[in-house]
Structure 1
Amino acid sequence: MLFNKIDIKNHLNLIKSKHPKNLNHIFVFLEIFSREGGIQSYVKDVFRAYETLPESIKAEVFLLRDAKGCVNPFESERLQFHYFQTKSSQMGRARMTWALLNRLIHQRPDHVFCGHVYLAPLVGMLCQPLGIPYTVMTHGKEVWQPLPKLTKANLQKASQIWTVSHYTREIASGANNLDPDKIQVLPCAVNGDRFTPGQKPADLLERYGLTGAKVLISVTRLWSGDIYKGVDVTIRALWQIAEVFPEVKYLVIGRGDDQPRLAQLAEDLGVQERVIFAGFVPTEEL
């Protein structure tokens, strides 16, 4: 599904115009497997799309904060991963920078994909002198405000920018003087074969006390820096919703340091019996 949305054919045409090589693309990310979140899910969909490309196309993936031995179902001959998590974040970044530079010089990939705007200065600094084009993935609020000068400059010099929504494209373009024509909207994907209405599992209804309830669900990380996601707004609205749907309950899936505040808010408003904090829930159960 995601593959149909990625304008990756341009990159394929670029590859075909060159001599065969051992490495076509490099991906650079902060972390994918050491924590869960929307960015991590998005990147995993990108990997799934990449696996549908011709087998001759290969990539290497550089992960700054993931460690060797993490659970990684994408490791293969065509997608090779390098892990740089260390006790010292500066040491890990230095090791990744050196390894990435070595690959860029000796392998000369066709394209580099930078998985987060925070890594744009590093990727831009290494790719620009070598004439290697790069794409920066943007995900939301990190580009809604003016960026530091160095980050903005390297984002502006990217050959392409991916973002998840037309809203972010519009806001980021204005805040950081970006060329809108460079920004390709690549929305978050949902597997319609898995996420479809069906029979509600009785064991899950019983586990979360939802039998007979009308259920509102939020699936999100509960970080104190992400209150814009609106879980607190929904909690505040519950008493009004309950006037129309007396059996309503609110299931909050996800974890983070903001959960105690949200739980206290529910208690202060007298709706704590209607709010269930499920914590982390595996994709299979979602």
Structure 2
Amino acid sequence: MAKAQVPAASPQKPDYLQKDDPPQKDDSPQKPERRIVGCGLSTYSKIGGLQNFNRRVIDVLAKRAALRQQQKPLIIFLGDKTEDLPTDNGVELEAGGSRIHFSFRSIWSALASAEILILFHVHLIPFAGLVRLFRPDLPILLFVHGDEVWIRPHDRKERWYESWCLGAVSRIVAVSEFTANRMACGFRISESKFSILPNAVDPTDRAAQGERDRATILTVNRIEANDRGKNVDQMIRAVARLRTSVPDVQYLIIGDGALRHELEALSAELGVSDIVTFCGWVPPAELQAAYDRATVFAMPSSKEGFGIVYLEAWQRGLPVICSKDGASSEVVTDGVDGFVVDPADVSMICDRLQTLLFRPELCQEMSARGRLKVEAKYLHPAFDAKLNAILNDLILSPAKERRAALREKTRPKLEGRKGASQR
């Protein structure tokens, strides 16, 4: 007997594909959602320009992920404890614990789920080299600030592994052109690998409260053993000389560290202990009161990778004095919104201080120009826009590079075919 033919027009669905049946469960392993992964050193347990920069970056990353409805970025810190970290800022922050745990956690997270790996300090670049071996297309970004990447005999020497590790970094983001140029020369890196992201401050409408003292000079910085380049000793010498023409001058130093005893001894030796006040670290209200009281902000530091304190001084209505060495002269325009001095020239520092103390109208003009500069270039919205542009370009770069490599790979073949057809 012949087998019956099944009509082609009305095939029967298997039972497991009937509409009323529940869909099949997909038991295949799911890949983790990609997100930004970062690793850094102490950020929430210390005070400083680098720490403020890191926190501002993290705020931008949180906003970026929220707007794009992406998974929260993961940032792991070596040096911060769990109790130091905020829990409600839109980012998954994690205390790294021991160096071994921090290293393993950072590298594993980058390999498993990173869309971009961000290194917040040059000391972490070995992670870039290791991660690059297993994820050759992963964009890796490194932030650099100042003398931690300045290769000079009196700053530091290059370590044997750094060139190889830096070769694994996709983009180096420096806070100033000065730092980018110094690092490019010291490590022999192409300038095309750098982007510039200046420091920023939050807007403030607060004017100085009460009357300013006629002759009060303010410095705000650390005075640790490795901060001799801040040149606070030169400021003390300049103030000692200035006292002959400005008898009521006062000098406030806010900040603390291992150099304090040495600087106090210098003040005593020069006979100015009564007019030089070491305030140590103070709470925000006292810091604001010091800005309100001061007439001039002076910090002729030779080791600034940017100098965010000059922005803060301008915001609070003070003219500034900075050094010609380092990146601060990239921020301050000499004779316009402050003075740029040779930190080795005590007479020059003294002269510029005297000029500002004797000319209050010049102080007002310079500080007003400085505030306008801050509002035009150094507020958070500008920082946010620049960082997002860098991240967007970084994500697209691997695809661009692959396409370029493919073009280079196929070009000889195409040219060969063209030559053969002409023959």
Global fold match (TM > 0.5):
yes
Matched, 1:168 2:179: yes
Q: 1:138: Cα distance to partner? A: 0.9
Opposite residue 65 of structure 1, the aligned amino acid is: G
Q: Which residue of 1 aligns with 2:112?
A: 106
TM-superposition CA deviations, 1:140-193 (whole Å, max 9, x none): 111111421212321233111111211111111111111112111212212231
Q: Which residue of 2 aligns with 1:39?
A: 50
Do the aligned partners of residues 272 and 170 (structure 1) sit closer, same or farther apart at CA in structure 2, a change above 3 Å counting? same
Q: 1:54: Cα distance to partner? A: 4.7
Opposite residue 144 of structure 1, the aligned amino acid is: W
- Asked if 1 retains the 8 angstrom alpha-carbon contact of 2:128 and 2:168, the reply is no
Opposite residue 93 of structure 2, the aligned amino acid is: F
Q: 1:115: Cα distance to partner? A: 0.7
- Asked if 2 retains the 8 angstrom alpha-carbon contact of 1:118 and 1:151, the reply is no
Q: Which residue of 1 aligns with 2:225?
A: 224
Aligned counterpart in structure 2 of residue 82 of structure 1, from 90, 94, 108: 94
- Asked if 2 retains the 8 angstrom alpha-carbon contact of 1:23 and 1:59, the reply is no
Matched, 1:199 2:209: yes
Opposite residue 201 of structure 2, the aligned amino acid is: V
Tell me the distance in 2 between the aligned counterparts of 1:150 and 1:241: 49
- Asked if 1 retains the 8 angstrom alpha-carbon contact of 2:107 and 2:127, the reply is no
Opposite residue 234 of structure 1, the aligned amino acid is: M
Q: Which residue of 2 aligns with 1:125?
A: 130
Alignment RMSD, CA only? 2.3
Q: 1:247: Cα distance to partner? A: 2.4
Q: Which residue of 2 aligns with 1:68?
A: 82
Aligned residues: 248
Do the aligned partners of residues 106 and 283 (structure 1) sit closer, same or farther apart at CA in structure 2, a change above 3 Å counting? same
- Asked if 1 retains the 8 angstrom alpha-carbon contact of 2:65 and 2:73, the reply is no
Q: Which residue of 2 aligns with 1:147?
A: 158
- Asked if 1 retains the 8 angstrom alpha-carbon contact of 2:41 and 2:78, the reply is yes
Q: Which residue of 2 aligns with 1:93?
A: 99
Aligned-partner SS, 2:198 = coil
Opposite residue 77 of structure 2, the aligned amino acid is: L
Which structure would you say has the larger Rg?
A: 2
Please report the TM-score for the alignment, with normalisation by the length of structure 1.
0.79
Please report the TM-score for the alignment, with normalisation by the length of structure 2.
0.55
Matched, 1:262 2:263: yes
Q: 1:84: Cα distance to partner? A: 2.2
Tell me the distance in 1 between the aligned counterparts of 2:178 and 2:99: 32
Q: Percent identity?
A: 24
Q: 1:80: Cα distance to partner? A: 0.6
Do the aligned partners of residues 93 and 127 (structure 1) sit closer, same or farther apart at CA in structure 2, a change above 3 Å counting? farther
Structure 1's unaligned 5+ residue stretches are: 1-19, 86-91, 203-210
Do the aligned partners of residues 212 and 101 (structure 1) sit closer, same or farther apart at CA in structure 2, a change above 3 Å counting? closer
Aligned counterpart in structure 1 of residue 140 of structure 2, from 131, 134, 148: 134
Do the aligned partners of residues 240 and 155 (structure 1) sit closer, same or farther apart at CA in structure 2, a change above 3 Å counting? same
Do the aligned partners of residues 186 and 128 (structure 1) sit closer, same or farther apart at CA in structure 2, a change above 3 Å counting? farther
Q: 1:64: Cα distance to partner? A: 1.0
Runs of 4+ displaced beyond 4 Å: none
Do the aligned partners of residues 77 and 267 (structure 1) sit closer, same or farther apart at CA in structure 2, a change above 3 Å counting? closer
Opposite residue 64 of structure 1, the aligned amino acid is: L
Aligned-partner SS, 1:270 = coil
Q: 1:77: Cα distance to partner? A: 7.1
Tell me the distance in 1 between the aligned counterparts of 2:202 and 2:55: 12
Aligned-partner SS, 1:44 = helix
- Asked if 1 retains the 8 angstrom alpha-carbon contact of 2:176 and 2:196, the reply is yes
TM-superposition CA deviations, 1:61-114 (whole Å, max 9, x none): 1101111112x33x33730111123xxxxxx1211122123322332x211110
Aligned-partner SS, 1:266 = helix
Tell me the distance in 1 between the aligned counterparts of 2:148 and 2:117: 20
Do the aligned partners of residues 144 and 105 (structure 1) sit closer, same or farther apart at CA in structure 2, a change above 3 Å counting? closer
Opposite residue 74 of structure 2, the aligned amino acid is: E
